[in-house]
Chain A
Amino acid sequence: MEIIETLINGLSSGGTYAMIALGYTMVYGIAKMLNFAHGDIIMVGGYMLYVTMITAGNPMLGLIAAVIFCVLLGITVEKIAYKPLRGASPLAVLITAIGVSYLLQSTAQMIFGTAPKMVIIADMGNFEVGALKIPYYTIVTLVCSFVIMIALTMFVKTTKIGRAMVAVSEDRGAAQLMGINVNGIIMITFAIGSALAAFAGFFMLMKAPSLSNTLGAMPGIKAFTAAVIGGIGSIPGAMCGGILLGVVEAISFKIPVIAPYTDAIEFMILILILLVRPTGIMGKVRREKV
């Protein structure tokens, strides 16, 4: 029973990591940049949820508000901070992203202070069958994140905008020759990534209700690791990497001897996988054909 519980737990937090990892990987694949401020979008979504819940008292309304606010924030950050740097050196873009990250964290601290806020979304109790006992939030997270992942995959595979995203990530110039507005596609990518971050923040607070301005920092780094493990730029890769990381984490937590080293183990997996496959599990080894 404990094995099943651990596994479901792992899949559930893996789903959350995957949500965040997707934002990193899509922005990397399409805008060709590492958006190190991505984790902080989660945090902003958390505060939006908090504010809505103390004013309107409804977590669903809070989730909607968080998603909308994060989407607008993601688009704005891209337009103001990243778009003017298109074509600039990757280092300049990276430093800007780190600057945006500090800006978001400091702004949150100025508004909400340093003391963590409690965001109790709902006490849903446990799902119990025989000896099996799983908190409902775990199941909700698991189901929602998998539904979102399937929906995103369908969107990319079957819609015109989705295919345009694949085209832009493969060859920006050729995509423009198709009549695709690359700036528009990049904007949509940031919007989707930020919406997913808002969902991830909701799932995280459902599990652990303490909200501070560094809420997104560690999950951001973990999810980035997951994206690299899966192959940065690859959507199924980010999903696999996220789920793998979540499961490993859950198992590691359950074994007392190694539990304190969980973070180290996760980063070690990253190093091991990159040693064997430098492009990550599903990363492309691009063949050039002349």
Chain B
Amino acid sequence: MALLEVKDLQVYYGVIQALKGISFEVNEGEIVTLIGANGAGKTTTMQSIIGLIPSSHGTVMFDGQDITKVPCHKIVHAGLTQVPEGRRIFQELTVYENLLMGGFSQKDQTLLKKDIENIYERFPRLAERKNQIAGTLSGGEQQMLAIGRAMMSRPKLLLLDEPSMGLSPLLVDQVFEIIKQLRDDGTTILLVEQNAGKSLAISDRAYVLELGEIVLSGTGAELAASDEVKKAYLGG
């Protein structure tokens, strides 16, 4: 059984249908990518899975549980979390406090401390800046913080919504490297990206979303080689 199973998910904004019944799955240990143009419905899919946007139809199963109507904070407790589009770190809190917020559901203080140390080890830049107000971090540092903060809840499945957005090419490579590492350390990843080339290269499987519908699916390599994808997303 898949770790995440989305079946016929439909979402409306008022009368506009943003998701027209999409189905896909993510298996344990995979990196799965959703690629698609602006407005295809990628963020809507992510927000709907995690319970921040209600769906009108369809089901979302996570780890054997139906989480379709479960409120967001409970889904997070169940081991699914998200690095949202635009990072959305808490600007007024320090780096350290942001990480604490990420570990909000961790009751065990020693484990909490250990988790924060692990994040600092993974992202030494955050350790150097732990008492800095997060709003004053650079874009790249904020992305590290957003990922670190999400990891604090020890997710089984991490949703990443355009983590490379607004970063310099060097940092983009670094972010993809981090994503691979997270997967190798045991976190399953569902990734949303416009950077189709780099994301397909690290993906086990991928889906192409167009105007609220899944139009293509396959392994990362298959999609990277397909003519449709090359034309529409890889610039030739």
What is the interface of chain A, defined by CB distance below 8 A to chain B? Answer: 160, 163-164, 166-167, 170-171, 173-182, 284, 286-287, 289-290
**Which of B90, B105, B150, B153 is in CB contact (< 8 Å) with A170?**
B90
Q: Residues of B contacting A167 with CB < 8 Å?
A: 90, 93, 101
Q: Residues of B contacting A173 with CB < 8 Å?
A: 52, 72, 84, 88
Complex alpha-carbon distance, A288 and B82, angstroms: 20
**Shortest beta-carbon contacts, A-B, top 7:** A179-B76, A176-B72, A179-B105, A174-B88, A178-B104, A178-B101, A179-B104
Asked if B91 lies at the interface with its beta carbon under 8 angstroms from chain A, I say yes
Q: Residues of B contacting A160 with CB < 8 Å?
A: 100, 104
- Please state if A289 and B90 are interface contacts (CB–CB under 8 Å): no
Q: Can you report 12 residue pairs joining A to B where beta carbons are below 8 Å apart?
A: A160-B100, A166-B90, A166-B92, A167-B101, A170-B92, A175-B101, A176-B73, A177-B88, A178-B101, A181-B73, A289-B142, A290-B165
Q: Residues of A contacting B113 with CB < 8 Å?
A: none
Asked if B44 lies at the interface with its beta carbon under 8 angstroms from chain A, I say no
Of chain B, the residue at the smallest CB distance from A170 is B90
Complex alpha-carbon distance, A180 and B82, angstroms: 14
Cβ distance A166 to chain B, nearest Cβ, rounded Å: 6
Asked if B125 lies at the interface with its beta carbon under 8 angstroms from chain A, I say no
- Please state if B86 and A177 are interface contacts (CB–CB under 8 Å): no
What is the interface of chain B, defined by CB distance below 8 A to chain A? Answer: 50-52, 71-73, 76-77, 81-82, 84, 86, 88-93, 97, 100-102, 104-105, 135, 139, 142, 149-150, 153, 165-166
- Please state if A289 and B139 are interface contacts (CB–CB under 8 Å): yes
- Please state if B153 and A166 are interface contacts (CB–CB under 8 Å): no
Complex alpha-carbon distance, A181 and B86, angstroms: 22
A interface: dominant SS: helix
Cβ distance B227 to chain A, nearest Cβ, rounded Å: 33
Cβ distance A132 to chain B, nearest Cβ, rounded Å: 42
- Please state if A178 and B97 are interface contacts (CB–CB under 8 Å): no
Cβ distance B108 to chain A, nearest Cβ, rounded Å: 13
- Please state if B88 and A176 are interface contacts (CB–CB under 8 Å): no
Of chain A, the residue at the smallest CB distance from B51 is A176
Complex alpha-carbon distance, A170 and B98, angstroms: 12
Complex alpha-carbon distance, A175 and B91, angstroms: 12
Q: A177-B50, A179-B73 are in contact. Are A166 and B93 (CB under 8 A)?
A: yes
Cβ distance B138 to chain A, nearest Cβ, rounded Å: 9
Q: A171-B90, A174-B90 are in contact. Are A164 and B104 (CB under 8 A)?
A: yes
- Please state if B153 and A179 are interface contacts (CB–CB under 8 Å): yes
Complex alpha-carbon distance, A175 and B135, angstroms: 16
Cβ distance B116 to chain A, nearest Cβ, rounded Å: 14
Complex alpha-carbon distance, A171 and B51, angstroms: 16
Of chain B, the residue at the smallest CB distance from A176 is B72
Q: A163-B97, A287-B135 are in contact. Are A177 and B90 (CB under 8 A)?
A: no
- Please state if B142 and A178 are interface contacts (CB–CB under 8 Å): no
Q: A179-B77, A179-B104 are in contact. Are A174 and B84 (CB under 8 A)?
A: yes
**Which of A176, A287, A289 is in CB contact (< 8 Å) with B52?**
A176
Cβ distance B82 to chain A, nearest Cβ, rounded Å: 6
Complex alpha-carbon distance, A287 and B71, angstroms: 30
- Please state if A177 and B100 are interface contacts (CB–CB under 8 Å): no
Cβ distance B100 to chain A, nearest Cβ, rounded Å: 7
- Please state if A178 and B102 are interface contacts (CB–CB under 8 Å): yes
- Please state if A180 and B88 are interface contacts (CB–CB under 8 Å): no
Q: Residues of B contacting A164 with CB < 8 Å?
A: 101, 104
Q: A164-B101, A167-B101 are in contact. Are A177 and B135 (CB under 8 A)?
A: no
Complex alpha-carbon distance, A174 and B73, angstroms: 10
Q: Residues of A contacting B139 with CB < 8 Å?
A: 289-290
Complex alpha-carbon distance, A286 and B91, angstroms: 9
**Which of B71, B81, B135, B150 is in CB contact (< 8 Å) with A289?**
B135
Q: Residues of B contacting A180 with CB < 8 Å?
A: 73, 101, 104
Complex alpha-carbon distance, A241 and B110, angstroms: 41
Cβ distance A120 to chain B, nearest Cβ, rounded Å: 45
Of chain B, the residue at the smallest CB distance from A184 is B73
Complex alpha-carbon distance, A167 and B153, angstroms: 16
Cβ distance B51 to chain A, nearest Cβ, rounded Å: 8
Complex alpha-carbon distance, A290 and B142, angstroms: 10
Q: Residues of A contacting B149 with CB < 8 Å?
A: 178
**Which of A179, A284, A287, A290 is in CB contact (< 8 Å) with B86?**
A290
- Please state if A163 and B101 are interface contacts (CB–CB under 8 Å): yes
Of chain B, the residue at the smallest CB distance from A183 is B71
Complex alpha-carbon distance, A171 and B86, angstroms: 12
**Which of B73, B84, B150 is in CB contact (< 8 Å) with A182?**
B73
- Please state if B101 and A171 are interface contacts (CB–CB under 8 Å): no
Complex alpha-carbon distance, A160 and B97, angstroms: 10
Of chain A, the residue at the smallest CB distance from B89 is A174
Of chain A, the residue at the smallest CB distance from B101 is A178
Complex alpha-carbon distance, A5 and B50, angstroms: 58
18 additional A-B residue pairs with CB within 8 Å, beyond A170-B93, A179-B76, A289-B91: A160-B104, A166-B92, A170-B90, A171-B88, A171-B90, A173-B52, A173-B88, A174-B84, A176-B72, A176-B73, A177-B50, A177-B84, A177-B88, A178-B102, A178-B104, A179-B77, A287-B91, A290-B166
